[in-house]
Structure 1
Amino acid sequence: MSAEGALMFARYAYPPNALGYCGPAGAEAMLRGDATADIARRARRFEGAWSYLEFLASSAGIADPLDERVVEAYWVGGDLLAGVSSAALVSFLTTRFAGQSGGSWRSAADRALPHHTFQVFEVYPWSELLARTGHPQALSVLDQCRIRTGVVTAVTGETATVESRPLTVSPGGGLVPGSLRRESVRWSVDGWSLLSGLAAGDRVALHWNWVCDTLTADQAGRIEVMEARYRVAVG
C-alpha cells in the first residue's frame, strides 16, 4: 500500500465523506495523516471511487489501486488514462454499477475514462436532471461535486477565501465556466488537515466546501481539460 497514494485519496475523498454522501462513517479518520493504513482500509468502502481505482490499476498493470499514480489519474488526470479502453470501462461498470439509475454512462463506450469528472457528469443523474428540468439544485450539485480549481486570496484560521469559476448554463443550454467568484471554504477542521499550510496565491483543488490540495499549473490544467471533456459530452 502506498502511503502517499492513500493520503492523496483522503485529501479528495474527505469532503463528500464528511457530508455523508459516500464512504463509511467517521470521516474525521480521513484527516489522520499518521494513520495511512486505516485510510487505505476506509478507501475500499468508497464504492464508486474504489471501482475506478481498481479498474485503472488493472489496466495499467499496477498491483496497488492506491498507487499514487493511479489515485492522481482518477482525481486529477494523468498519463495512465491514455491506456484505458473506454468500452472495457463501461463493460466493467455495467457489473459494478448495476443498480445505478440515470446518467449517460451506458452509452459512453467511445469516451468513458476512469476519472472523477466522468462519474460526476455521466454516472450520477444530475446532468440529465438539469437538462430535463433546469432545476438549480442539479446545477449546484454538479458545481460542488466536480473537482474544481481556484486560487486562494486570503486565509483566516481554518477557512480560506478562494476565487473560482462556477458552472453556469449557457444560452444554448450547455454547461460552461462562469465569471470568477469568491467563495469561503475550509482547509482544516479542529486543527486536523492533510495540508501543511495554505497561503494567498496558492492554486488549489476544491471539492464541495473543502480545499483538497495545492496544485501545479500542469495539474490544474489536467483537471480543467477533463472537465471540459465531459461538460461537452453532456451539454
Structure 2
Amino acid sequence: MTKAHHLDAASPADVADVAGVADGAGRAAGVPAGHRLFARYAHAPNARGFCGPELGAALQRLAAGHTVSGLDVPAAARRFSGAWPYQALLAEHAGRVGHGGHVGGCGGSGGSGGGALDPLEERVVRAYWTGNDLTELVDARAYGTELLARFGAQAGHYWQHLTPELLPEVTPTHAFHVFGVYPWSRLLGRGAPEPVGVLDDCRIRVGRVLDVGGDELLVEIDRLVDESPGLRLSTPRPERVIWRTQDGPFIDAATLRPGACVAVHWNFACDELTAAEAATCQRLTVRQVEHTDSRLRRAAAD
C-alpha cells in the first residue's frame, strides 16, 4: 500500500533536474518560503503514493532546503487534490474580505478587500496545514458552501456524504479535510483498525520534542482513540518519529532542542512550530475531533 520512505524517481512533467544546496541558514536561495513550506507537508503522503504527482526526489530536496532546478511548484501543487482546492479557495476568500499587510502573524487586523492571494503564499499554506489568522478571518460557512459545491461536482460513490450537513464542521484546514471530507471517519467502528490509523497518520499531529536522535526524534504526542461510536484524543505519550531523509531534515538541525514543538505528518516530523502555531494547530484539531465525535454518536443513535 505504501512506497518506500525515500523518494527516488521524478516525473519529467514536473521537474527537469535537481541541483544546488541550501544556504547557511538551511533555506534554498531564491525559493519562495511558501513553496518550501508546502513541500514539507506534502512530502510524506506523496512519498507513499497517497496524494499528488510522482515528484520523486524533487519534493524531498526542496523540503530539505535544496534548490531544485526545473521544478514547477505551482503546477505540481495543483495536482494535490487534497490540498490545492482548499488553499486556492482560502486565497480567494482571504482576498475578498481583506487580508491586511502582516504576513505570518497570529492576529491580523484585516484590511480593505482586494484580489486573491497566491495559494502558495507562506501565510496561505500555513493557514491550511496548521492554521493561523487567515483561518479565523475567512467566513467558514461561506467557504464551506463553496468548497462542498466544488467537491460535490466531482463526487463519486465514496463522497456522497459531502452535503450541507457538514457545514458546521468546516474550517479551511487540513484537519477538516481529514475528518470531514475523507470517508475514513465513516468507516470507524466496523471492526478494522485501518480507519483510525489512517486518520491519525494523515492529520497533522503536534509533538513536543523530548530527545533529538540520529534519524529519529523522541516526542511527546497524542493519538486518536476509536471509542466506537465515538472518537477522542489520548493523553500525550512518548513516541519516536522520523525526522531525517537522505537529503537532510526539513527542520533546522542546528537549533532544534528538547522542548521544541514539531508538526508530525505520516510519522514524519516535517516542520518546527512556534508555541503559537502549535497551540493553534492543536486547538483546531481538538475542535475537529469533537465535531467528528458528535457526528458519529448522532449517527449511532439514529
Per the normalisation by structure 1, the TM-score is 0.89
Unaligned 5+ segments in structure 2 are 1-29, 96-115, 294-302
More displaced stretch, 186-195 vs 145-154 = 186-195
1:47 aligns with 2:81: yes
Partner of 1:74: 128
Residues 1:100 and 1:54: Cα distance change in structure 2 (over 3 Å) = farther
Say whether the 8 Å CA contact 2:188–2:229 is kept in structure 1.
Answer: no
Which string of whole-angstrom CA distances, capped at 9 and with x for unpartnered residues, describes residues 53-86 of structure 1?
1111111123411011110110011222232312
Shift of 1:194: 2.6
Say whether the 8 Å CA contact 1:103–1:124 is kept in structure 2.
Answer: no
1:210 aligns with 2:280: no
Tell me the percent identity. Answer: 40
Match of 2:46 among 17, 26, 43: 17
Return the alpha-carbon distance in structure 1 between the equivalents of residues 145 and 52 of structure 2: 27
Residues 1:105 and 1:232: Cα distance change in structure 2 (over 3 Å) = farther
Residues 1:117 and 1:134: Cα distance change in structure 2 (over 3 Å) = farther
Q: Given residue 179 of structure 1, which amino acid in structure 2 is its aligned partner?
A: T
Shift of 1:7: 0.9
Residues 1:103 and 1:114: Cα distance change in structure 2 (over 3 Å) = farther
Higher relative contact order (CA 8 A, sep 6+): 1
Say whether the 8 Å CA contact 1:105–1:112 is kept in structure 2.
Answer: no
Which string of whole-angstrom CA distances, capped at 9 and with x for unpartnered residues, describes residues 75-129 of structure 1?
011222232312222223223x423714743231333222101110111111110
Equivalence map 1:54-203=2 (5 Å): 54-61=88-95, 62-81=116-135, 82-84=137-139, 85=142, 86-95=144-153, 97-99=154-156, 101-102=158-159, 104-106=161-163, 107-131=165-189, 133-170=190-227, 173-197=229-253, 198-203=256-261
Shift of 1:210: 0.6
Shift of 1:227: 1.3
Runs (4+) of structure 1 exceeding 6 A deviation are none
Q: Given residue 28 of structure 1, which amino acid in structure 2 is its aligned partner?
A: A
Say whether the 8 Å CA contact 2:232–2:289 is kept in structure 1.
Answer: yes
Residues 1:63 and 1:203: Cα distance change in structure 2 (over 3 Å) = closer
Which string of whole-angstrom CA distances, capped at 9 and with x for unpartnered residues, describes residues 6-49 of structure 1?
11111111111111111111342112232385433322211120
Say whether the 8 Å CA contact 1:7–1:194 is kept in structure 2.
Answer: no
Return the alpha-carbon distance in structure 2 between the equivalents of residues 139 and 181 of structure 1: 18
Residues 1:100 and 1:153: Cα distance change in structure 2 (over 3 Å) = farther
In terms of fraction of residues, the more helix-rich structure is 1
Residues 1:103 and 1:234: Cα distance change in structure 2 (over 3 Å) = farther
- 1:114 aligned counterpart, secondary structure: coil
Shift of 1:205: 0.7
* RMSD of equivalent CA atoms: 2.2
Unaligned 5+ segments in structure 1 are none
Q: Given residue 251 of structure 2, which amino acid in structure 1 is its aligned partner?
A: L
